[in-house]
Amino acid sequence: MTRFGDFEPLCHHVPSYPWCNLFYRQLLKSDPSQLTGLSADRSSAPVGIDPTCGIPLVNKDGSLGNIANIIACGLSMLVVAWLVLSTGRRKAAVGRAELQIFLIIYFFTLPFQLLTTGSVLEQGTTGLVVLTAIHAGLLAALFWSLFANAIVATQVVEDGTLSSLIPFNIFNVLFFVATTYISLDVALHISNAFGPSNPPQSLNSVPLFVLTSVWPAAAAFIYFVLMAYIVLGILRERRPMLFFGFAAVLFILSQLDYFLLSKVICKSNDKVDGSFIATILETASVVVIYFGWISITEEDWEDDNNRYP
């Protein structure tokens, strides 16, 4: 029976699910007999724990790894780099520094995603575990940054000032450090506080599940609710809401693709899965958030004190 915090269904059914790298190493140390099926041979094992479908390790029987998602991550990095530079040019825009930090963190998640889901590193290695742990830490910090951008947009504190940036970055560091440490402990049993799973095959870690699944979903939901309140309730405008609504739809579609469609794509062709579509949709969502931000920081709105105090 599946319990809250069990990664076993995800690692078995969702191709290229990065946090499974942590549990592969955990099982390799605690109970290697659980590594069966596609996971049995480390020299070719795809991302996952006995996945129903997976992309073999690069160079194994001519495999290119998860080449589609590798390309999607590379192109996304170019797009996000442009967004970071463009955000920096809008000196007077509300929340410029905070949005730029969000974009920078998202930029750094992409190369780690490329390495942790690309089937380019052998399963069970310390290097892959460390990269996956850092990826998890960046993800948790990313969604804190998204959530905090919505708070900044309400102008509870003045954006770009120390009163905004100090707590903003302190929580970024806390989320990153806590999630990275928990991830390393799950895989390497540094303190045994967060592992091993009991029973081993459940791949259970409640803290890791909360920080990599529950927290991102909650932060994204709160962000879009707060932005809807700001745009419709304070600015009393509809056009910017089209951007934020579209961004929410793209984000939801990316998750549906990743968790539902990815396996279907992989089974039809084991050279690719749906992760590249999810990456494209996630990056598109970030781009639309950027344009939504531009639309609520236009000069004619900034000068209207009755609309946006």
* Residue 251 maps to a domain: no
* Residue 284 maps to a domain: no
pLDDT in the model for residue 1: 72
* Residue 100 maps to a domain: yes
Instruction: Tell me how many domains the chain contains.
Output: 1
What is the domain extent for residue 30?
Answer: 8-221
pLDDT digits (tens, 9 = 90+) for 148-186: 999 999 988 888 899 999 999 999 999 999 999 999 999
pLDDT in the model for residue 290: 97
Question: How does DSSP classify residue 56?
Answer: P
* Residue 135 maps to a domain: yes
137, 180 in Cβ contact below 8 A?
yes
* Residue 190 maps to a domain: yes
Over residues 241-259, mean pLDDT: 97
* Residue 181 maps to a domain: yes
pLDDT at 205 over 50: yes
* Residue 265 maps to a domain: no
Q: At what angle do helices 239-256 and 215-228 cross, to 10 degrees?
A: 160
- 308: pLDDT confidence band, cut at 50, 70 and 90? very low
Over residues 55-72, mean pLDDT: 93
3-state secondary structure 162-220: HHHHHHHHHHHHHHHHHHHHHHHHHHHCCCCCCCCCCCHHHCECHHHHHHHHHHHHHHH
For 88, the 3-state DSSP assignment is: helix
* Residue 123 maps to a domain: yes
Give CA–CA dist 189/203, Å, rounded: 14
